[in-house]
Amino acid sequence: MPVTAKFSKEFYDKLGHRVADELVDWLNAVDATYRLDLRELNELNFARFDAKLEQRFAEQDARWERRFAELDAKWERRLAQLDAKWEQRLAQVEAKWEQRLSQVHASLLRWMVGLGVTGFGITIGLLKLWTS
């Protein structure tokens, strides 16, 4: 808001109204020019500040993106390691079960052969008793 310069009556009397009004107009013009220059300077400074702020936000956003990517890669590695461990453990359990099943099969086979031979022996013994 412009400030209008006013002078005393004595000033107007010594210089005259026309010269004093001209001086007032000139001072108001200078004030308006300085205000305009100040406004332009403030707008330029704000534009620089806004650009710098935008740049810093972009840099921070890039840092966060990098950190999230690193964290994602770290989790992927750990999950892959965990998956490999589980596969290894499952393979070990599967191998143990196969070994135990083969032992059970071998035991069953021995029992079956033993029972078969025993049954065959008993059958032959009974046949000999019956035929004699």
Is 31 a member of any domain?
yes
Residues 6+ apart with CB under 8 A from 7: 20, 23, 24
User: Please, what is the Cα angle at 109 between 103 and 110, to 5 degrees?
Assistant: 90
Residues 6+ apart with CB under 8 A from 42: none
pLDDT at 8: 79
The residue-averaged pLDDT of 76-82 equals 97
pLDDT at 95: 94
42-75: pLDDT as tens digits: 999 999 999 999 999 999 999 999 999 999 999 9
Is 123 a member of any domain?
yes
Question: Per the structure, how many domains does the chain have?
Answer: 1
Is 83 a member of any domain?
yes
Number of neighbours of residue 107 by Cβ within 10 angstroms? 10
Reported pTM: 0.48
Alpha-carbon gap, residue 106 to 110, rounded angstroms: 6
Is 2 a member of any domain?
no
8-46: pLDDT as tens digits: 788 888 888 888 888 888 888 998 999 999 999 999 999
The residue-averaged pLDDT of 2-11 equals 70
Q: Confidence class of residue 4 from pLDDT cuts 50, 70 and 90?
A: low
In the block, tokens 């220059």 appear at: 37
Is 4 a member of any domain?
no
pLDDT at 132: 73
Q: Which domain holds residue 114?
A: 9-131
How far lies 23's CA from each of 1, 28, 32, in Å? 19, 9, 14
Is 52 a member of any domain?
yes
- DSSP for 93-128 reads HHHHHHHHHHHHHHHHHHHHHHHHHHHHHHHHHHHH
Is 3 a member of any domain?
no
Is 51 a member of any domain?
yes
- Determine the length of the chain: 132
Q: Confidence class of residue 131 from pLDDT cuts 50, 70 and 90?
A: confident
pLDDT at 2: 55
